[in-house]
Structure 1
Amino acid sequence: MKKLLEYTKPGDTVVVWRVDRLGRSLIDVLNTVKLLREQDVQVKSISDGIDPSTTSGRLMLNMLATLAEYERELITERVNAGITAARQGGTKFGRPLSDPVVVADKLKLVAEARAKGRTAKEAAKLVGWSRATLYRHQQALAARESATV
């Protein structure tokens, strides 16, 4: 959107599939249309047939933008309700936890590679990790070891 606004110049026409694509909320859509109109840029909507340069077009724009925002809020509510229901049903979200045995084996391989002169990045790559992942697992291991002492 930022590139579009920088690219347009007076006399241009911005064509969108639906007017609500000009912003994430009613305020965004209205502000974008207002900004474009102030820059003498026309806005045309293909599926809505809305022409914001007319009074009735602005009325339709406001109504459709309001309905679009309402629709997005309903979708958000349904998604959040679904997530809550899934959590109550025992569904776990996010990346599954790593198997501690596998992590320990990989850390052993990394330590051997480091002892042979490989860099942390090279050693991590040997076991399919990034350097950051290697450091994260090493810190977790050190924290567990210090907690048991």
Structure 2
Amino acid sequence: MIYGYLRVSTKMQRPDRQIEGLKGLCDAFFVEVLSAVSAKRPIFEEIVQKLQPGDTFLVWDLDRVFRTTYDAIVYEKEFRRRGIKFKAMNMNIDTSTADGNHEYQSRAAAAEWERRKISERTIEGLVMARKRGSRLGRPPKITDEQVRHAKAMIDNSDTSIKDAAASLKVHPWTLSRRMRALPTERTFH
């Protein structure tokens, strides 16, 4: 049996490139939507448990399955020990030979390096955006002015936080969190 494994990091990403690369080559393929840094990968772990001697574990690219060079080496050795063939479609490497195994390990190291560099660049970009004063993340659902108005309604009448939040079409938790985050206005006499 040939098992194909595809992984994307978020629901926003699409596995089309991987599906196209493995289409017609697998008896079954499985898509996991999970960040590479996740501690548990249930679909990956399930497939590894199912694999029997003579089966093939097929992936499109090493960085879609292994997080580190160590992982790539450990799993390749485990597959070989269990009589399971492992193939990354974008690499034509025979890991049963010394040269092929060396090439596999080199590419696994390069994939790990690339993932780490992307992470470093992302962090650097976020730091620079914050320094420029850019707001990161989703825009707030309500403005500071709306929060101040809701707070005044709550403070000066019988309006509950639930009713004030409903009038703004937000969850009460959203309103109370935003009220706590408002800067306190000080008046000096």
**TM-score band (shorter)?**
0.5 to 0.7
1:29 is matched with: 72
1:86 aligns with 2:122: no
What amino acid maps onto 2:170 in structure 1?
A: W
Structure with the higher fraction of residues in strand conformation:
2
Structure 1 residues 79 and 86, CA gap change in structure 2 (3 angstroms): same
Q: CA RMSD in A?
A: 3.5
Q: Which runs of 5+ in 1 are unaligned?
A: 115-119, 145-149
Percentage of matched positions with identical amino acids: 30
Equivalent residues of 1:22, 1:32 under 8 A apart: no
Aligned CA distance change for structure 1 residues 130 and 6 (closer, same or farther; 3 Å): farther
The DSSP-based 3-state class of the residue aligned with 1:94 is coil
Asked if 2 retains the 8 angstrom alpha-carbon contact of 1:51 and 1:58, the reply is yes
The residue number in structure 2 matching 1:55 is 98
- CA shift for structure 1 position 54: 2.4
Distance 1:128 1:49 in 2: 56
Unaligned 5+ segments in structure 2 are 1-43, 185-189
Alpha carbons 2:79, 2:85 under 8 Å: kept: yes
Cα distance between partner residues in 2 of 1:62 and 1:26 = 7
Q: Alignment partner of 1:3: what SS?
A: helix
Alignment partners' CA distance in 2, 1:21 and 1:53: 22
Q: Secondary structure at the match of 1:80?
A: helix
How many pairs align? 139
CA distance in structure 2 between the aligned counterparts of 1:100 and 1:82, rounded to whole angstroms: 27
Q: TM-score, normalised by structure 1?
A: 0.68
TM-score scaled by length of structure 2: 0.56
Structure 2 counterpart of 1:102, which letter?
Q
Q: Match of 2:96, as an amino acid?
A: S
Whether 1:129 aligns to 2:173 is: no
